[in-house]
Amino acid sequence: MHVSEFGGADKTFTELQYQFAAHIRNPDKYPKPAGVEERRMTIYRELFFNNIEGFISGGFPVLRSITREQDWMRMVRDFFDQYRCHSPYFLEIAEEFLTWLNNQREPEASDYPFLQELAHYEWVELALDTSAARLSDVAVDGRGDLLQGHPLQSPLAWSLMYQYPVQRIGKHYKPQRPPEHPTFLMVYRNREERVKFMQINQLTARLLYLLGENRDLSGAQALQQIAEEMSHPQPEQIIAGGRDVLQQLRDKDIILGTQL
């Protein structure tokens, strides 16, 4: 597009670019550059916005499905107008949208109380699905003793805690207040490259946290520490139950084996 299409030589090309971009972002607030045909401007406006809206809808399908049309479009428009993305990659637009939701967007009265948690959960699924990491690249003893050695967690397995049971939220379940206890989830991508989730209990979450924080801990040592934290009268029961849990996690490609 030539500078002359923007209505004259009295403005620098950089100024015209800013005017053009401002109008694309928020056409209700900023007028289009003078001299640009409305038909062309409409094409630009729709093309840019629809692309962004499409990527965000694809990244947050549940949130999209439970949000009223006008509320959703206003939220995407606000993101498009207010936020300055730091990544040029389309696949990272969802992460940028999540950052905006958490750090910049002003909450509205119509917001669901679980909005940010649901958005994070949906982003995790997308992040794991598109991650370039491969389990075959991890150096591990796949048949190692999970009690004697250090159980090594997959880099594609994320242990998460939410106040709301985000995995259940949908058109027929939209809680207005969090339940009494938080929800612990493991979201992971297995060797078949499928992203799955499983609900875990607080003890399993604690076990995975301890193993992730200290790579010198054996499975038995981590379970012994949990038994001590609980003041459990029979720690051998915790260790026996934990051994079964670790094996189940290995079967699902959440634990890959033991550290070499």
Reduced 3-state DSSP string for 210-258 = HHHHCCCCCHHHHHHHHHHHHCCCCHHHHHHHHHHHHHHHHHCCCEEEE
pLDDT (0 to 100) of residue 133: 93
Same domain, 57 and 9: yes
Residue 80 has pLDDT above 50, yes or no: yes
Report d(CA 166, CA 173) in Å as an integer.
Answer: 10
187 three-class SS? strand
Tokens 């207040």 locate to 177
Of 127, 74, 71, 69, nearest in space to 98 by CA: 127
Residue 46 has pLDDT above 90, yes or no: no
Residue type, 52: I
pLDDT (0 to 100) of residue 101: 95
More confident call, 12 vs 149: 149
pLDDT (0 to 100) of residue 2: 41
Same domain, 71 and 146: no
pLDDT tens per residue across span 210-231: 999 999 999 999 999 999 999 9
What's the CATH code of the domain at 205?
Answer: 3.90.930.50
pLDDT (0 to 100) of residue 59: 94
Residue 156 has pLDDT above 90, yes or no: yes
Residue 38 has pLDDT above 80, yes or no: no
pLDDT (0 to 100) of residue 11: 58
Same domain, 19 and 117: yes
Residue 47 C-beta-side C-alpha neighbours within 13 Å: 7
Same domain, 188 and 236: yes
pLDDT tens per residue across span 102-139: 999 999 999 999 999 999 999 999 999 999 999 999 99
Report d(CA 246, CA 174) in Å as an integer.
Answer: 33
Domain that holds residue 65: 3-130
Same domain, 209 and 233: yes
Same domain, 110 and 152: no
Same domain, 59 and 161: no
More confident call, 101 vs 6: 101
Same domain, 100 and 150: no
Tell the burial category of 95 from Cβ atoms under 10 Å away from its Cβ (0-12, 13-18, 19+). Answer: middle
Which of 23-27, 57-61, 160-164, 201-205 has the weakest average pLDDT? 23-27
Apex 182 CA angle, 177 and 187, nearest 5 = 115
Extract the tokens encoding 185.
């989830």
**pLDDT confidence of 8, banded at 50, 70, 90?**
very low
Diameter of the chain by CA atoms?
A: 84
CB-CB neighbours of 40 under 10 Å: 12
Same domain, 154 and 57: no
CB-CB neighbours of 205 under 10 Å: 17
Please name the helix (run of DSSP H) or strand (run of DSSP E) that holds residue 130, with its range, or none: helix 115-130
Which of 26-40, 49-63, 222-236 has the weakest average pLDDT? 26-40
Same domain, 142 and 229: yes
- Number of domains, the chain: 2
Last residue of a domain, one of 130, 158, 183: 130
For range 130-158, the mean pLDDT:
95
**pLDDT confidence of 9, banded at 50, 70, 90?**
very low
Last residue of a domain, one of 83, 103, 130: 130
Last residue of a domain, one of 130, 162, 191: 130
pLDDT (0 to 100) of residue 44: 72
Report d(CA 83, CA 96) in Å as an integer.
Answer: 8
Same domain, 107 and 220: no
More confident call, 232 vs 151: 151
Q: For the chain, what is the mean pLDDT?
A: 88
Same domain, 156 and 205: yes
Exposure string of 100-133, with b = 16+ CB inside 10 Å and e = fewer, is: bbeeebeeeeeebebbbbbbbbbbbbbbbeeeee
What's the CATH code of the domain at 36?
Answer: 1.10.150.690
More confident call, 44 vs 194: 194
